Amino acid sequence: MKTVHTSYLNEIKSVFNSEADNEQYYKVLKNSNSSKLYNVELAQPIVRKTKATVIWKSETNLDLIKLSELEESKRLEIGSIIENFFKLFEQRIQRFKNIPKDFTKKVMEIPDWNSILVNESEGYIVIVNWGFLNDKFDRREGLIKTIFPVPDQSILIHLQNEDKEPISGHSLNVVTTSENRKDLTDTNGYARFGTMIRGEEFEVYEVNENGEEHFLRKFVCDGSPEYLIEKKEYVEITVVVKSETEQGIQHKDFYVDTIELSNEYFNTKKLGRFTLKHPIAESDFIVKDSKKEIVLRESLPVKDTTFLIELNEEKEQSQPTENKIKENTQKHLKLVFLNNFNKPLKDLEVELNYDKKEAKETFTTNQQGEVVVNKLKGNQIDYSFKRYREIWENSIHVQTDNETHYIQTKPKFPWIWWLIISVLLVLLWCCFFGNCFCKNDTKTEKQATGQNEIKTEEQATDQNETEIRIVDCNEETKSGGYGVTKTQHNMGANPGKVIVQYEMQNIPDKLEVFYEGNVLTSTFEINGNENGFVGDALKSGGQGKLSFEYKPNKENFVTVRVTGTDENTAWGYIILCPK
């Protein structure tokens, strides 16, 4: 190992109990592969009591310069890399029970910026004097935190309705203390508003066609991958119809007028009520009776509401009849045809015969299963219709209610449905438990041909694939473990060279980077890989980096696909923003 720095004990002091603790902790970190991650290395301390010095040694032979010698923009970039290093470092050491809880914070203590050494061309960083403070001050805040840049976080708004469905094509306005930003939600309900400084507050407004804004929610930029807003699009309205005796009035016809509906037909049926879902809007909600007289006028509600209508009439009795409607003295007649599940029979041809079939008329039911006869041609009416190519005459149940007659069909062969269900249940049991028909195909692995195969993102599918995650560049991606993990990284609109640093540890994993369906780079490029898999157990090693040129086209993100074939695997990587 190469000596990269020498410190003097009269100038620094350990944040631990003694300098010997720094040496002991380094051994623990070294044995657990935690002393070097993402090309960031904690140098090895060797205490020389007789000379009152600490010798710091590194595994690299690269030429190193002090961080203070770099430009400010480069120092901020180095700060982002070190910040991600300590995030992964903290995850690693949480596995050890004999290390203090504040260990990471103590390791981050350094006396000055010159304790960070850098090889700019290779992007290699060595931290010396870790766990030490300047002896002149008793500080408790690590200086290393002061070089971390104030992180800009992407603002991704996800707009969905109460049914968890995306709301697309909506104009949103994000308002901060200094500016407004507008965008339309895409087909997945997402709107993008660039980046903000962590901790900045912003409000989200919806903009309608007239340019009017309606407040939705207020957020604080906290680094979340997305900010979810659930907007209620529909309201459920229930209309209960009762008589003066508080009894529900059944099978009563009503018509509803709103900005969306025009004389829409509803019926109270057996429960004495009807329910509808309506888009939220500024409008009157008007209910009319069968004579088109208004019985209720209210403002369209913005939340689920129940309206009550009281009618001054007696509840009429419905009498079941056979297949005839006798003596009809009304001016018009309505027939409603329903199946056994009270669903309307649409587009059903019905034949009406008047006065012993001397006059005939044919009608077709509408979307509500209705036939309306305005001019009757006789006092005695027979009706018939065909269903399943047969004339239905005997299996009819009729209910009458003044001007409306409800005709409910019964199944011709009700036992056949039970027979079909029984057969399906037997087949399912046989397939899952009896293994009668279903055979499990054994999977064989493809033999390595010695030539790496480059796949498109659509071809690279796996049955263990997890849900796609969305993060920004310069943010560490935590291990997804076993199976296939897909992550979208927002790269922005600027082109440039992108560095991918990965840490696969001992168990091999495979990493691939795609843009608009095409592969940009992958661990197939690493020497010593086995069918794209790299790890400490292979010649390729577990740590490394890839690079590619980012040239934005339609999309502003790349997709990283990591494949792990072992349940005990753990990995991590970081994609740096284009430079």
Residue 368's CB is within 10 A of a number of other CB atoms, namely 16
Whether residues 219 and 246 fall in one domain: no
Task: Give the model's pLDDT for residue 117.
Answer: 93
* Count of domains forming the chain: 5
Whether residues 480 and 521 fall in one domain: yes
Whether residues 7 and 130 fall in one domain: yes
- Among candidate residues 145, 33, 45, the one with its CA nearest the CA of residue 89: 33
Task: Give the model's pLDDT for residue 575.
Answer: 92
Whether residues 6 and 143 fall in one domain: yes
Q: How far apart are CA 226 and CA 514, in angstroms?
A: 22
- Among candidate residues 287, 285, 248, 283, the one with its CA nearest the CA of residue 268: 248
439 domain-assigned: no
Task: Give the model's pLDDT for residue 214.
Answer: 87
Q: What is the CATH number of the domain that holds 219?
A: 2.60.40.10
Boundary of a domain, candidates 185, 206, 230? 230
461 domain-assigned: no
Whether residues 22 and 88 fall in one domain: yes
Task: Give the model's pLDDT for residue 132.
Answer: 81
Name the pTM for this structure: 0.33
Q: What is the CATH number of the domain that holds 267?
A: 2.60.40.1120
Q: How far apart are CA 291 and CA 253, in angstroms?
A: 9
Q: What is the CATH number of the domain that holds 521?
A: 2.60.120.380
Whether residues 9 and 141 fall in one domain: yes
85 domain-assigned: yes
Ordered alpha helix ranges (H), 236-364: none
274 domain-assigned: yes
Cβ burial, residue 574 (10 Å; 0-12/13-18/19+): buried
433 domain-assigned: no
Give the structural domain span for 173. 152-230
Boundary of a domain, candidates 230, 261, 278? 230
Boundary of a domain, candidates 409, 426, 449? 409
Along the chain (579 residues), what's the average pLDDT of each consecutive run of 10 residues?
89 81 84 83 91 91 89 80 82 74 77 86 90 58 52 84 89 91 92 85 90 90 87 89 85 90 88 88 89 89 89 51 43 72 80 64 82 65 71 46 65 68 82 57 37 43 62 81 87 91 89 92 92 89 91 90 87 89
The CA-based angle 61-63-66, given to 5 degrees, is 125
Task: Give the model's pLDDT for residue 450.
Answer: 38
Q: How far apart are CA 409 and CA 370, in angstroms?
A: 14
Task: Give the model's pLDDT for residue 147.
Answer: 54
466, 483 Cβ separation under 8 angstroms:
yes
Whether residues 265 and 335 fall in one domain: no
Task: Give the model's pLDDT for residue 81.
Answer: 84
Task: Give the model's pLDDT for residue 452.
Answer: 42
Q: How far apart are CA 576 and CA 500, in angstroms?
A: 6
Q: How far apart are CA 19 and CA 13, in angstroms?
A: 8
Whether residues 161 and 214 fall in one domain: yes
Whether residues 222 and 238 fall in one domain: no
Whether residues 226 and 238 fall in one domain: no
Whether residues 138 and 199 fall in one domain: no
The amino acid sitting at 486 is K
75 domain-assigned: yes
Whether residues 185 and 199 fall in one domain: yes
